[in-house]
Chains A and B, each alone.
Chain A
């Protein structure tokens, strides 16, 4: 215990244990990946193709569908991650969570392991959206460095929103209440962001809200990283720092209140 390197290695092992277990579950039953790909397809094909006809929505250069694709990518990650808390409550109801909670693993290691596992799930989902975007003829940036950076941003955003969801789960504690709250939370986060329209056309108060919304920074980074020739508005470093800082705060809070689920 005294050796800090030992402690750190132990912490990493325990976080990895949690994440690895989730990835193994996904391998046993990958059907979730396909069903998760349907929603972004609907947004891009139905919503995107129609809204592309609206004048005024198209930004600086190019097509609305190009503008929309990174937003829908971030959205599909958000929608899946924000309901992650349901799984936490479900694990509690089953009894599986008790096994985690009585283990000597620090709660923060459990929370980080869960966040990483959520990131892995969302990344496989993001791959589907990339594929879809290519099929729709969107000028997708396949530069390896940009792809790697996009992977980092998606993982960070997914970890952030899933941990936020875990916090909500620890507060509401039942699946029924969570379903109600989850719906209420998703829409404002989604609409009060730059995901499907530029912030410039928003009324002033909504602009302020959008700038406090982590989704805005995720989408901003993804616009630069996913599309050929696009730049980010706030700077990739700023996007990254915003997301990382909020994610860190979420993890600290979640580690504190996670044990409330099994009380």
Chain B
């Protein structure tokens, strides 16, 4: 397998001037993002800042207009199949199939990721136990609660033990108990398997609770990147992440974001 040109192997994500424009409008503008192996990296920014577009590019759903990216050592443009095999993705929308049972959803993923037949049963069993869904395995996913669905989706996305897990607003619409369970599960994944995690969020509490590093996206540009402590210190001694966010996004924080964005966020919230 040809894996040249390899980036520094200690970065699971390394983008170089990665850009995406829709017509004249740059949605992601020359982003240089680096996510180290084993990190939990939070991507924040106001609606319409380009988070979703960036995530879509990193997960190979959307081809970049210009720039390069290397995911787990694979070239995003030329080795997209290898990239897809190396990552797991939990979209913001509900991606588990409600018309299938939890078990069937996992079986589908096991087959799509070509997990060897002999290992499938054990992996699915383990995933169900890890996510506390063993009891519910034979129920249709459409009868699951929001928190159960999220956990099922994470299980589906990590069945093949990806080196990188990408999650788009993983806890939107969840109640605090369900949210804590998702957080615990994410920490556990990193601890057990060393999975690197990139997530987007609007909840600063989530960044504080989970993330080692945080990047702030604004108008398509990555304007800040560092540990939460670093970013807070750059504002002032008692600053919170909300202050950091407000300093970057400023007054426009609520002025952007399109209908589609809002519709999707709301729907996820309703489904949760």
Residues of A at the B interface (CB closer than 8 Å) are 1-2, 10, 13-14, 16-18, 20-21, 24-25, 28-29, 93-96, 98-106, 259, 262-263
Which residues of A are found within 8 Å of B130, using beta-carbon distances?
Answer: none
Which residues of B are found within 8 Å of A29, using beta-carbon distances?
Answer: 99
B112 and A263 contacting across the interface, CB-CB below 8 Å = no
Residue from A24, A98, A103, A106 in contact with B113 in the complex, judged by beta carbons closer than 8 Å: A103
A9 nearest in chain B by CB position = B114
> Chain B nearest CB: distance from A215 CB in Å?
30
22 residue pairs of the A-B complex, CB under 8 angstroms, read A1-B1, A13-B114, A14-B112, A25-B97, A25-B99, A28-B100, A29-B99, A93-B93, A94-B98, A95-B92, A95-B93, A95-B95, A96-B94, A96-B96, A98-B95, A99-B96, A102-B84, A104-B113, A259-B61, A262-B61, A263-B56, A263-B62
B85 nearest in chain A by CB position = A104
Which residues of A are found within 8 Å of B97, using beta-carbon distances?
Answer: 21, 25, 96
B110 nearest in chain A by CB position = A17
B80 nearest in chain A by CB position = A104
Residue from B62, B82, B104, B157 in contact with A21 in the complex, judged by beta carbons closer than 8 Å: B104
Which residues of A are found within 8 Å of B59, using beta-carbon distances?
Answer: 102
A17 and B111 contacting across the interface, CB-CB below 8 Å = yes
Residue from A2, A16, A94, A102 in contact with B61 in the complex, judged by beta carbons closer than 8 Å: A102
Which residues of B are found within 8 Å of A106, using beta-carbon distances?
Answer: 81
Which residues of B are found within 8 Å of A13, using beta-carbon distances?
Answer: 111, 114
State the total of A-B contacts with C-beta under 8 angstroms.
83
B201 at the interface (CB under 8 A from A): no
Residue from A14, A18, A96, A259 in contact with B114 in the complex, judged by beta carbons closer than 8 Å: A14
Residue from B61, B91, B100, B107 in contact with A25 in the complex, judged by beta carbons closer than 8 Å: B100
B94 and A104 contacting across the interface, CB-CB below 8 Å = no
> Chain A nearest CB: distance from B174 CB in Å?
16
B235 at the interface (CB under 8 A from A): no
Which residues of B are found within 8 Å of A262, using beta-carbon distances?
Answer: 56, 61
A99 and B1 contacting across the interface, CB-CB below 8 Å = no
The binding surface of chain A is classed by DSSP as: helix
What count of chain B residues pass the 8 Å CB interface test? 33
B109 at the interface (CB under 8 A from A): yes
By CB atoms of chain B within 10 A, which of A20, A28, A104 has the most?
Answer: A104
Which residues of A are found within 8 Å of B108, using beta-carbon distances?
Answer: 17-18, 20-21
Which residues of B are found within 8 Å of A103, using beta-carbon distances?
Answer: 84, 109, 112-113
A104 and B61 contacting across the interface, CB-CB below 8 Å = no
By CB atoms of chain A within 10 A, which of B98, B111, B113, B140 has the most?
Answer: B111
B30 at the interface (CB under 8 A from A): no
A14 nearest in chain B by CB position = B112
8 shortest interchain CB distances as A-B pairs: A95-B93, A17-B111, A104-B85, A103-B112, A95-B95, A102-B89, A99-B95, A25-B99
By CB atoms of chain B within 10 A, which of A21, A25, A101 has the most?
Answer: A21
Which residues of B are found within 8 Å of A10, using beta-carbon distances?
Answer: 114
B140 and A104 contacting across the interface, CB-CB below 8 Å = no
B100 and A95 contacting across the interface, CB-CB below 8 Å = no
Question: Assuming the A-B contacts A102-B60, A102-B61, are A94 and B111 also in contact, with contact meaning beta carbons closer than 8 angstroms in the complex?
Answer: no
A96 nearest in chain B by CB position = B97
Q: State A25–B108 Cα separation when bound (angstroms).
A: 12
Residue from A18, A94, A95, A104 in contact with B81 in the complex, judged by beta carbons closer than 8 Å: A104
> Chain A nearest CB: distance from B27 CB in Å?
12
B87 at the interface (CB under 8 A from A): yes
B156 at the interface (CB under 8 A from A): yes
Q: State A124–B81 Cα separation when bound (angstroms).
A: 35
Question: Assuming the A-B contacts A25-B100, A104-B84, A263-B56, are A98 and B112 also in contact, with contact meaning beta carbons closer than 8 angstroms in the complex?
Answer: no
Which residues of B are found within 8 Å of A93, using beta-carbon distances?
Answer: 93
Which residues of A are found within 8 Å of B60, using beta-carbon distances?
Answer: 102
Instruction: Knowing that A14-B114, A20-B111 touch, tell me 19 more A-B residue pairs with CB under 8 angstroms.
Output: A1-B1, A13-B111, A17-B111, A21-B100, A25-B100, A28-B140, A94-B95, A94-B98, A95-B93, A95-B94, A98-B61, A98-B91, A99-B156, A102-B61, A104-B114, A105-B112, A106-B81, A263-B61, A263-B62
A2 nearest in chain B by CB position = B1
Within 8 A of A (CB), among B22-72: 56, 59-62
Q: State A259–B112 Cα separation when bound (angstroms).
A: 16
Question: Assuming the A-B contacts A10-B114, A13-B111, A14-B114, are A99 and B85 also in contact, with contact meaning beta carbons closer than 8 angstroms in the complex?
Answer: no
> Chain B nearest CB: distance from A176 CB in Å?
15
Which residues of A are found within 8 Å of B61, using beta-carbon distances?
Answer: 98, 101-102, 259, 262-263
